[in-house]
Amino acid sequence: MSRSQLNRGNSARNPQGDDVGCNILHIDMDAFFALVEVRENPSLAGKQVIVGYDGNRGVVLSATYEARKLGVHSAMPMSRALRLAPNAIVVEPDHEKYSEVSENVMAIFESITPLVQPLSVDEAFLDISGAQKLMGTPSQIGEVIRARVSDEQGITCSVGVASTMFVAKLATNFAKPDGLHVVPADKVIEFLHPLPIGALWGVGEKTAEQLSRLGLVNVSDIANTPVKTLARVVGQAAAEHLYELSWGRDPRVVTPNQAEKSIGAERTFEADIDDPEEILAQILDLSNKVAKRLRAANYFSRTITIKVRFADFTSVTRSKSLPSSTDLATDIYGTSKSLFEAMHLQRARIRLVGVRATGLVPTSESSVQLEFSNRDSGWREAEAAMDQVSLKFGNSAVKPARLIKPES
């Protein structure tokens, strides 16, 4: 998908030029998971595509704009999404693929400036103060990034340009999809005050409802209400926070290279499971996914955690620290299995299981000795070979024998 094939329409709604002092970019991939799937399968272009697991308990992870026009959105139950868009094509997610594209996108950002703060796999803040001398104005840099993401990764992104992180993130909403929007430094109040109070960070539905009882509907209402009055509803700290944001004041700075705190995977079952052997098979599959993601991210883990959610929606977690850090599925599964068996659940009905690796250590700093005489050597070579096969032929090409279901 080349640049010429993409719709750049939204840039025209916000003419470039008045971006002096707007050193913060907020970049958000458009319908990230869905557009990666369209890139992989061009026959899906222009169609209603929903990424998620089809079933009674599935939820929407992403959807193309064709599906969004019908009311489909992320986190919506799949059953409701398919009632709204009965002709939609449901594609199961491939998180390894999305992680790879995310890493490539972040590498583009980091080639522009070292000041990159990822918020998620498809979203980041950039401080481009030091890049302007060589690359031009903030708007020009934003357009360069949009073009590179499109040409190099085959997906689109939207860019908000402003003087603070808070306003830049709001600006992105006006750029979507596939556009760029500038909020000039001297127009921040003009931009903010007409917006609904829900635009302020920290105002959810419940808080918005409480504030609306005082007649506070727009950001301008917050800006013109004494902090003491706001504090009676939301508390002193939140009142001060909202008041400052309502005047466009945000002291935060872009903080780059925040280390990952954990890597995990979990699965919600279409029907509750009470067979311990079936649950262990699911834990084995999740352990393999976590190990693969650890290796892809160049991390070892010191602690393994499992999560079990029961039919009544209560959840329990159990953790165990390892004698040495690892990125091997055999170690992760062995630990997860012992944690699960120690629960003695006796055929409890289980809705969800998850496996998470924490205490992450970069491979360059790990004390693990990768010697051929090491007992882990064979497992590491085997799992590395599985990674290569999956990369070439897909995630289902190779898996532990226990996970292969006999053909009916």
Residue 310 sits at φ, ψ, to 5 deg, of -90, 175
User: Where does residue 341 rank: exposed (0-12), middle (13-18), buried (19+ CB within 10 A)?
Assistant: exposed
Cα–Cα nearest to 343, from 316, 322, 320: 316
Q: Tell me the two tokens of residue 320.
A: 């165990």
* Catalytic residue list contains 123: yes
Q: Which of 123, 152, 341, 383 is catalytic?
A: 123
Q: Are the C-beta atoms of 220 and 194 separated by less than 8 Å?
A: yes
Q: Are the C-beta atoms of 304 and 339 separated by less than 8 Å?
A: yes
* Three-state secondary structure call for residue 120: strand
Q: Tell me the two tokens of residue 243.
A: 């008041």
Q: Tell me the two tokens of residue 277.
A: 């052997």
* Three-state secondary structure call for residue 265: strand
Q: Tell me the two tokens of residue 398.
A: 């190779």
Distance CA 288, CA 384 (A): 11
Half-sphere exposure of 174 (CA within 13 A, CB side): 20
Distance CA 374, CA 368 (A): 10
Cα dist. 285→237, 293, 403 in Å? 44, 13, 7
Distance CA 226, CA 255 (A): 32
Cα–Cα nearest to 103, from 369, 373, 290, 293: 293
Report the DSSP pairing between strands 299-310 and 350-362. Answer: antiparallel
Distance CA 302, CA 327 (A): 9
Distance CA 22, CA 359 (A): 37
Enzyme catalytic residues: 123
